[in-house]
Structure 1
Amino acid sequence: MSSIIEIKDEESLISFVYRLAAKNFYDSIQSFSSTWGIKKMRMDNNLFTDNAIAELHRLTGIEKSVLFERSNDFLIEKHGWNFFDKNVKRNSVKYCPQCIQNGPVHKYLWMLEPVTVCLEHQSVLLDRCQNCKEKISIHNLMNGNCEKCCFQFDQATSQFITEPTFIQSQSLIQNKLVGILQNNSKNIIEGLSLENYMILVNSSLHLLKGLKSFIGDPIEIKSFFTKNNFYENNRSLYNHANVLWMYQDFPVNFQTVLENVFQLPIKNRATKLRSFYCISSLEQFRDLVHEAGRIIDKLNERMANVTGALPSRQSSRKKKRGCQVSKNIVNVTFSPTNDYIRRNEAATILGIGEREQVNNIVECGFLSLYKFPSSQYYLLKNEVIDFLKKYRGKYDEEIQGISFYTVLQKFANPSFKLTDILKFIENGLLTPHVNVPDGKLSDTIFSDQEIQNCIEILRQRKKEKNGISKDELRRLLKVDYRTIIKLEERGILEPVISISKTGRRRTSYYSPVDVEIFQKRYISIKVASERFQIPESKIRKLIYDGRLHDAFEGLHRKYVFHVDDIEKLFAEETG
């Protein structure tokens, strides 16, 4: 190593590796790290193996502990994989234009979703090229320009912060990330651990979403990610700052938020409050939930006084069932303890994101739902954890295959559901693994061959129940949809029509027996040649002479013949 450089304050390890490789005139970090046994994608996400850190120590003399603390592996060790999975940006980075004026550099905190501001320069971090709006990779940032439009990142215009709450919010978050806790009687969240803070942020955001921001520009508060699951730095900036403001001078600002929530239609209001109350099972938030309940009761009384003189309207809609689960419910006579959790919390632990999925798991008998005297429904936390350990499989860092969500999304047809995956695991047809420590169901990876086998089983079940779908028929007969429709119109194919629950979508299915008869009755030139042991040229001559006719009469681009016509024709020739 001809040139040794110092690692900068707060610099990420991947940033240091890029600078070290460039200083020693390597073409790329792949060539620089070729003997480390680590993939570039893993390094670009600031994840390094013990061997890679040992090699860097040997080359630079920098202590291993210092190098390790600048990697995301340290973040996982300190805050857990669950925090890393939810809050660390992968495959793209943010940066401060002021910080790179003296050369490209990347700080390890910039990889975190909650970190949206450079406190040193009090400017908003940029997560896209300011010229073409393309995402910024660590490779492009360390090269200094956008790969798509060649825009120089150090020429970007900084957006400086003037609203104090934004700075306070980011100072609070970044202190928690480095382990500094504060206590302030005017703000109940400053003494929370990082884990509890993130729980409170996600819960509080249910109340704030859809409202106008209470600080800065009056923009609409939205979730952290777009519909396409893209992260937006500006959303996070406003979300975290609004949550901080919400708990400042508690409960004054908190009540202001609830008053705005109560201006919404009752259906929207109820959904927001129900989602917020998910934290009620956690001991550290009991006082907060109690105060929230007191304010909500007052607001309900106020609403009742305003609307009490109005005549009530009888709704013709059916009463909604309190619980969407009808099976595997256990009635208990005592009050819920900390050993029990709500379905939303169970969904978070399992990594499946939706309460409805937990309902499906209970309905299929994998978990039990406990009904308490107050008509509240909980799951036993230890049962959820044991269930997760059983169905996520063993840990294998090197395992490769199809991920859990790829199975659900890519193989939606033939309706590959979560419960199907669990049943296949239960029956030994799928062997799950996780490549992260303490992984969730969402981290599960399966063998490609096992998934294909299960898909075939599902298709066969669906075929036995409904018949062959139009898409399967198209692939089976090697014809297009237009040909299938024309065959239906002429009565050659007889579909079984099923109507969906909405009554709007018509789905056609075909009897497997009828399809098999069709395949035996109508054959192509190639199949006829192989079956009757005659050259294709002879068959084509018979067509040209007008002695053999297309059974589909031009419906398909290829000639198709009725078996009886061919047998009769060749019987006459041989007779």
Structure 2
Amino acid sequence: MKVLLNRPAMMKYESLVSFFYRITKANNYATVAAISREIDAKLFKVDRNNFSRNQIKKIAEITLKNEDDFTNKTQNYFDEKIESQFARFLYFKRGFKFCPKCITDQYHNKIIWNLNTVTVCLQHKTFLADCCMSCKNPVSMLSLVNGKCINCNFSLLDTPLNTLKVSSPIYRSQKILQRYLSHFINRNEIAMKYSFNDLIELAHKTLFLLSNLESYLPDYDGKISVFIGKVQQQEISNYDFAIALGNVYWVYKDFPVNFHRLLDDFSNKGNFDKRKRHRRNFEELFINLKFLPIKHAYNDYWKNKAKKGEISKSYLNYRQELQKVFKKSYCTKGDLIKTGILTRDEVENLLYSNSIEVREINFGGLKQFVIKSDQMVKINWYKNQSSNLIRKKQAAKMLGVSIESLRRLVNKKVLKCYKNPLLKGELLKIDDVKKILSLSNNHVDETNYCIKFNEIINKYRCHGVTIELIVTSLIKGELKAVSYKKEPQLTDFIFEENALLKCLSKNKPENKYYNLTEVAKLLNVDLRMVKKMIGIGLIKPLVDGKTYLFNKKEIGSFIDEYIESKDAAEMFGIRRGLVNKWVRNEELPNYNKTISRTFLLKKNEVEEKVNYYRKKQLKKKSHG
């Protein structure tokens, strides 16, 4: 091969593809195709800065340069040193980036500008330009070497500068990254704690957590968008990548505070499956033992989450060590049921009673309740207490009375109600019920005991005798009862009638009620008629089980207010037929209309009608 006549010097950190284009231009070649054929290189590989060792040797021969000066200025050098999984993340493939200030003296391309991770020119404190500012097309190497866009002839020197402060996280992150990159290119990484490969791996894995979150940098708002997936997507701009790397720097700047804040936001990020995949991608970082402090901070975060119950069950299943931490602090509904501590109904009642501290954790997209382990002492106490509690219906059955009667015993405070979060509603103690049933005695003279509990209620109800009065008297010792059964109910109690009468006279219960028979006699109707009057609401009874009781005052008011047509005619001195005529003509309302042929009228309405009738008759006589 012939040696080229014009052999310009290679600039510091200049990429081999840039030098290749410059020597082509210096020797007045129309295109790089001619020299490419000389070194057996394909154009698309040349534009990628991809040269084999043999091609590098031939370039060195035609330019009379040292072959070693070219080796670390190609993409092949990075391919050999950088793991293949970071290739898509590392290389900028949408043309070439440049600093408008750096190319003022000589149009060229630096090897570090071809990397996605290099986004800022530290010398001029400005973002690298990644496209033509006029037509927005990618900048080719031919455009860069000629200093103008081949599409629109826009001068690249006129590209406006997008400067940034030295104190900004983006600048600081680039300063660290490019320092490591310099050692990497100069093959001098032995003295460094981390290699350039380590930093690329750290940034790549951290961006899985940062992707689509809001930027943490104060001067740069918006979501962090970066290409890190395996599916082909549109490459992001240099500016967006700079913000992404600046956020990576922020995460580890105030470690582990910022790191834990990132994990908080990541945990609340949408799409559970995508979040799960990104979390597992990040955890691949811990294979590298250099990142052991990050692994410890990461595990501590999830352990604290497990202790607080703020962790998804699917992640607990994935991390067995966290499951142990979680079970020390919390138990689930399933744990309480499987261990036999509580039934399913008791667990549901307990959770909605607000008597214990309950947390909600995500199970996939669903929510699940968990209970603090220190609440188990309280739960066991509730369980022991619930074994001595029964519902009102059960207590009424034990006593042999109606549920209405039991409620009156509770209202009179003969029995006390309790609440237990494991059981719904108001509850009674079994011991309190048994105490009442134990008031009967089998060791007394039974000859005088001749009246049963139900007989007392039926016989003396209208004299003010109630179940609560009998039970209260038994508790006070004012009454005694016997029973022939080992496990009696109140209905099995037998009393001495004389003692009962003495008790009644002592307590002097006021007789406030009539029974059904007494009301029928007072109204001069049969029992069926009284029930019909109840049906249409003329009189209102107090129902006690199967027994009707009527308030004496209300019955007295009814008798004073209503009157039959026969009695009305006699009271007001008019003909009965006239009263009946008024009722048939609907001049007087009949309150018995639907249940009887007998007319039932209101006294005040009859009186008004009679007075009106008599005034009318007087007017007729005066005119006649």
Q: TM-score, normalised by structure 1?
A: 0.49
- TM-score of the superposition, structure 2-length normalised? 0.45
Greater Rg by CA: 2
